Structure 1
Amino acid sequence: MKQEYTITVYTENQIGLLNRIAIIFTRRKINIDSLNTSPSEVDSVHRFTIVINETEDVVRKLCRQIEKQVEVLKAYYNTNEEIVWQELAMYKVPTDVIAEKVKVERLLRQYGANAVVIRHDYTVFETSGHREEIDSLMKALEPYGLIEFVRSARVAIIKNSAGFHEKLKEFEAKDAGEKVIENVFLGKQEEVFTM
């Protein structure tokens, strides 16, 4: 059964990686609902947060395929119950409506919206929350002349995770064994580290 999954991918920051990851989804005709990239808690490691609506079997295969990319360190997938997540939204509304209508001001307070820019012709508010809350405020503001609306991609933290830096420490703590194998493509010997 299809449901919403959040895929978290830890990577090196390399040019072209985003394109190669997107191609993995394109080849399987899977729509990406949300995509966010950002630095992670580990220096020089970036984090991709990808939201899709698929079956668990398909998501598991996608993660394995993503991990085959050289720059990808690890890919995880989680349901919405296994993560803490938020999205950010900004709303532009006419300033005169805010000044005249007490109901709009109450509505913005109810949703925890904060003013970012106040000009004589428009005011920009921002709020964060789950998609349903953000969409609900957008619908509530439409009758008052909502000029513009934008929502960010999802940001998420896995509930039962000690952080990727702990995984890296575990990986680095393992003794690497050295053995020499021949690279048949280049016709020379290379050192390969095995776990």
Structure 2
Amino acid sequence: MRKYLVVLLLLVALCSSAPLSVFHRHHRHSNSKIGSIRPTKYTSTIPNIVKRINDTTSKSQALRRSTSSIRSSTGKAGLDRIAPGLDVLRVEITNIIKELNGFEPVEDDAAAWTVLNHLNKMAIAHESMLDTLTTNHRLVIKLGWHSDTYRTLLTLDNTWRRIELIKLQDFFPSLSTALPNHIEHVGLVEIRSLNALDRALKSFY
């Protein structure tokens, strides 16, 4: 009995002296091999990405309204006012792309369609904002295009077009049949936006 008691005391002493990080690393490593844990990760991630997409959509819509209100009376001051908002939008879209690129395959139809539908809404809002800004180019030329605004607009357009390269079917296999339509839609948005930018550029020179 004394022999077992000594062994038990030694084990207790050993465990109490070992750093917690050893057990934490082992626990984390073990969990990484359990497939059932993965869906939990993405269940919490998808609502977050949807919220960010919706927030970005709202900002695109607000910028479109601000751009529509720019008249000769506000002039350059109006362009100055929307430049920071455009830059914020560019950063947010870049971050959304990074987060989508961080996804791993998720076999969840509801989650896949939710993300896709919200991306489509964001595409429509973004296209509308770009169209409003670029089709107002006569006023912009008359006043002189605010260089920071224009550079940000070009960067924003380039950032948005990268969404076409995300290949959502890699993350949501259940969308393999529907995704080509989405890619085609994003492609049309890209073409219309670029055409509007081309028209504005030709008017400058």
Both proteins in one fold, TM over 0.5: no
Larger helix percent: 2
What's the TM-score bracket when you normalise by the shorter of the two chains? under 0.3
From the CA coordinates, give the structure whose radius of gyration is larger. Answer: 2
The TM-score, its normalising length taken from structure 2, stands at: 0.22
